[in-house]
Chains A and B, each alone.
Chain A
Amino acid sequence: MASEPTASQAPRDSTNHGLRVIVAWLVLSAIATPLVAIFVGPLIPPGNASVQGQGQVFDNQVMTSMITPVLCLLAVFFGYGLVKFHARRSEAVLDGPPIRGDSQIQLLWVVITSTMVLFLAGFGTYELLKDGAGGGQGPNPIASPSGHNPFQVQVIGQQWEFTYRYPSLGGLESDQLYLPAGTDIELHVTSLDVIHSFWAVQLGVKADANPGVDNVAYVETKSPTTFDVRCAELCGLWHPYMFNTGHVVTQSQFNAWAAQQKKLYAAIAPYMNKPSQDGGAPFAHSYLPSPGGGSPQVRAG
Chain B
Amino acid sequence: MTEIAVTPPAPLWRRLIGFNLLTGIVLGVGGWYVGWFGAHAVVGPSLDYFGDIDYNELSIYLAYLGGVVGFLVGLGFLNYPLARLRGYPPSLREKETQGLGRYFSLCTDHKVVGIQYLWGIGLFFFIGGLNAMLIRTEQLTPHNQVFPVGTYLTLVGMHGTMMMGMMTSGILGPFANYLIPIMIGARRMAFPRIEALTFWILMSAGAILTTTIFFGGFPTGWTGYAPLSNQANAGMDCYVLFFALVGISMTLLGLNMIATILTMRAPGLTWTRLPIFVWGVLSTAVLMVLAAPVLIAALSMEAFDRTMQTHFFVQAAGGSAYLYENLFWIFGHPEVYILALPGFAIVLELLPVFSRKPLWGYRLAVAGLLGVSLLSWFVWQHHLFVSGINGDLRPFYMLSTELISIPTGFTFLCGMMTIWRGNIRFTVPMLFCLAWFFNFLLGGLSGVFLSDTPSDITTHGSFFSMAHFHYTIMGGLVFTFFAAIYYWVPKMTGWELNERLGKIHFWTMFIFFNSTFAPLFAIGFLGQPRRTPVYPSNLQFLNDWVSVSAFLLGISMLVFLFNLVWSLAFKKQPAEMNPWASRSIEFQLPSPVPVHNFDRIPVFSSDPYGYGEGPPPVLVPAGAPAGSD
| Interface set of A (CB-CB < 8 Å, partner B) | 3-6, 9-10, 13, 17, 44-46, 52-53, 55-56, 59-60, 63, 66-67, 70-71, 74, 77-78, 81-82, 85-87, 93-102, 105-106, 109-110, 113-114, 117, 120-121, 124-125, 127-129, 133-143, 189, 193-195, 197, 199, 201-202, 204-208, 210-216, 228, 230-241, 243
Measured between alpha carbons, how far is A56 from B460 in the docked complex, in Å? 13
Residues of A within 8 A of B531 (CB): 234, 239-240
Looking at chain A's contact residues, the main secondary structure is mixed
Contact of A138 among B316, B389, B445 (CB under 8 A): B389
Between A and B, 22 residue pairs with Cβ closer than 8 Å are A78-B434, A78-B437, A85-B422, A87-B425, A96-B423, A98-B358, A100-B360, A106-B364, A113-B406, A121-B402, A121-B403, A124-B452, A128-B394, A137-B391, A139-B388, A194-B228, A194-B231, A210-B387, A213-B315, A234-B153, A234-B530, A239-B153
The 4 A-B pairs at the shortest CB distance, nearest first, are namely: A215-B388, A138-B388, A137-B391, A133-B454
Distance in angstroms from A101 CB to nearest chain B CB is 4
Distance in angstroms from A240 CB to nearest chain B CB is 4
The chain B residue with its CB closest to the CB of A212 is: B315
Q: Judging by beta carbons under 8 Å apart, are A240 and B532 in contact? A: yes
Q: Judging by beta carbons under 8 Å apart, are A45 and B454 in contact? A: no
Task: Digitize B400-416: 1 where CB-to-A-CB distance is under 8 Å, 0 elsewhere.
Answer: 00110110011011001
Distance in angstroms from A242 CB to nearest chain B CB is 9
With A6-B612, A121-B395, A121-B399: A100-B457 Cβ-Cβ less than 8 Å: no
Q: Judging by beta carbons under 8 Å apart, are B219 and A97 in contact? A: no
Distance in angstroms from A217 CB to nearest chain B CB is 8
Residues of A within 8 A of B390 (CB): 138
Measured between alpha carbons, how far is A52 from B149 in the docked complex, in Å? 34
Q: Judging by beta carbons under 8 Å apart, are A59 and B454 in contact? A: yes
Measured between alpha carbons, how far is A63 from B308 in the docked complex, in Å? 49
Measured between alpha carbons, how far is A113 from B451 in the docked complex, in Å? 16
Residues of A within 8 A of B425 (CB): 86-87, 93
Task: Digitize B187-213: 1 where CB-to-A-CB distance is under 8 Å, 0 elsewhere.
Answer: 000000000000000000000000000
The chain B residue with its CB closest to the CB of A67 is: B445
Residues of A within 8 A of B460 (CB): 197, 206, 232
Contact of B455 among A56, A93, A216 (CB under 8 A): A56
The chain B residue with its CB closest to the CB of A91 is: B423
Quick check: is B417 within 8 A (CB to CB) of the other chain?
Answer: yes
Q: Which of B363-394 contact A (CB under 8 A)?
A: 363-364, 384-392, 394
Q: Judging by beta carbons under 8 Å apart, are A117 and B402 in contact? A: yes
Q: Judging by beta carbons under 8 Å apart, are A10 and B455 in contact? A: no
Residues of B within 8 A of A6 (CB): 612-615
Extra 11 A-B pairs, beta carbons < 8 Å, given A101-B361, A105-B413:
A6-B614, A45-B527, A85-B422, A98-B610, A99-B357, A100-B359, A106-B364, A106-B413, A124-B453, A140-B392, A240-B534
With A121-B399, A197-B386: A45-B458 Cβ-Cβ less than 8 Å: yes
Contact of A124 among B232, B454, B525, B610 (CB under 8 A): B454
Residues of B within 8 A of A127 (CB): 452, 454
Q: Judging by beta carbons under 8 Å apart, are A109 and B409 in contact? A: yes
Quick check: is B101 within 8 A (CB to CB) of the other chain?
Answer: no
Quick check: is B268 within 8 A (CB to CB) of the other chain?
Answer: no
Q: Judging by beta carbons under 8 Å apart, are A211 and B219 in contact? A: no
Which of A53, A77, A231 has most chain B Cβ within 10 Å?
Answer: A77
Q: Judging by beta carbons under 8 Å apart, are B424 and A85 in contact? A: yes
Measured between alpha carbons, how far is A60 from B455 in the docked complex, in Å? 6
Distance in angstroms from B25 CB to nearest chain A CB is 34
Residues of A within 8 A of B525 (CB): 44-45
Quick check: is B517 within 8 A (CB to CB) of the other chain?
Answer: no
Q: Judging by beta carbons under 8 Å apart, are A234 and B357 in contact? A: no
Quick check: is B421 within 8 A (CB to CB) of the other chain?
Answer: yes
Residues of A within 8 A of B221 (CB): 234
Measured between alpha carbons, how far is A195 from B532 in the docked complex, in Å? 16
Q: Judging by beta carbons under 8 Å apart, are A135 and B457 in contact? A: yes
Residues of A within 8 A of B398 (CB): 121, 124-125, 128
Which of B153, B392, B454 has most chain A Cβ within 10 Å?
Answer: B454
Q: Judging by beta carbons under 8 Å apart, are A95 and B455 in contact? A: no
Distance in angstroms from A143 CB to nearest chain B CB is 8
With A135-B386, A194-B227: A128-B533 Cβ-Cβ less than 8 Å: no
Residues of B within 8 A of A56 (CB): 454-455, 457-458
Q: Judging by beta carbons under 8 Å apart, are A210 and B321 in contact? A: yes
Distance in angstroms from A82 CB to nearest chain B CB is 7
Residues of B within 8 A of A106 (CB): 361, 364, 413
Residues of B within 8 A of A125 (CB): 395, 398-399
The chain B residue with its CB closest to the CB of A5 is: B612
Residues of A within 8 A of B526 (CB): 45
Q: Judging by beta carbons under 8 Å apart, are B461 and A199 in contact? A: yes
Residues of A within 8 A of B419 (CB): 81-82, 85
Q: Judging by beta carbons under 8 Å apart, are A206 and B454 in contact? A: no
Residues of B within 8 A of A213 (CB): 315, 322, 388
Q: Judging by beta carbons under 8 Å apart, are B421 and A96 in contact? A: yes
Residues of B within 8 A of A129 (CB): 395
The chain A residue with its CB closest to the CB of B227 is: A194
Residues of B within 8 A of A238 (CB): 149
Measured between alpha carbons, how far is A240 from B532 in the docked complex, in Å? 5
Distance in angstroms from A186 CB to nearest chain B CB is 14
Q: Judging by beta carbons under 8 Å apart, are B387 and A208 in contact? A: yes
Measured between alpha carbons, how far is A96 from B525 in the docked complex, in Å? 45
Contact of B227 among A17, A137, A193 (CB under 8 A): A193
The chain B residue with its CB closest to the CB of A122 is: B399
Residues of B within 8 A of A110 (CB): 406
Q: Judging by beta carbons under 8 Å apart, are B445 and A236 in contact? A: no
Which of A129, A189, A193, A233 has most chain B Cβ within 10 Å?
Answer: A233
Q: Judging by beta carbons under 8 Å apart, are A204 and B457 in contact? A: yes
Measured between alpha carbons, how far is A241 from B535 in the docked complex, in Å? 9
Measured between alpha carbons, how far is A205 from B460 in the docked complex, in Å? 11
Residues of B within 8 A of A78 (CB): 416, 434, 437-438
Quick check: is B581 within 8 A (CB to CB) of the other chain?
Answer: yes
Measured between alpha carbons, how far is A137 from B453 in the docked complex, in Å? 11
Distance in angstroms from B257 CB to nearest chain A CB is 27
Distance in angstroms from B383 CB to nearest chain A CB is 11
With A45-B525, A210-B321: A234-B225 Cβ-Cβ less than 8 Å: yes
Residues of B within 8 A of A133 (CB): 453-454, 457
Distance in angstroms from A62 CB to nearest chain B CB is 9
Residues of A within 8 A of B468 (CB): none
Distance in angstroms from B325 CB to nearest chain A CB is 8
Q: Judging by beta carbons under 8 Å apart, are B454 and A71 in contact? A: no
Q: Judging by beta carbons under 8 Å apart, are B388 and A210 in contact? A: yes
The chain A residue with its CB closest to the CB of B460 is: A206
Residues of B within 8 A of A197 (CB): 386, 460-461
With A231-B529, A237-B219: A96-B611 Cβ-Cβ less than 8 Å: yes
Quick check: is B22 within 8 A (CB to CB) of the other chain?
Answer: no
The chain B residue with its CB closest to the CB of A82 is: B424
Q: Judging by beta carbons under 8 Å apart, are B613 and A138 in contact? A: no
Quick check: is B50 within 8 A (CB to CB) of the other chain?
Answer: no
Residues of A within 8 A of B231 (CB): 193-194, 236
Q: Judging by beta carbons under 8 Å apart, are A99 and B529 in contact? A: no
Which of B387, B417, B419 has most chain A Cβ within 10 Å?
Answer: B387
Measured between alpha carbons, how far is A215 from B453 in the docked complex, in Å? 16
Quick check: is B441 within 8 A (CB to CB) of the other chain?
Answer: yes
Residues of A within 8 A of B357 (CB): 95-99
Distance in angstroms from B402 CB to nearest chain A CB is 5
Contact of B321 among A4, A44, A120, A211 (CB under 8 A): A211
Q: Judging by beta carbons under 8 Å apart, are A82 and B611 in contact? A: no
Q: Judging by beta carbons under 8 Å apart, are B455 and A239 in contact? A: no
Distance in angstroms from A32 CB to nearest chain B CB is 14
Residues of B within 8 A of A94 (CB): 356, 423
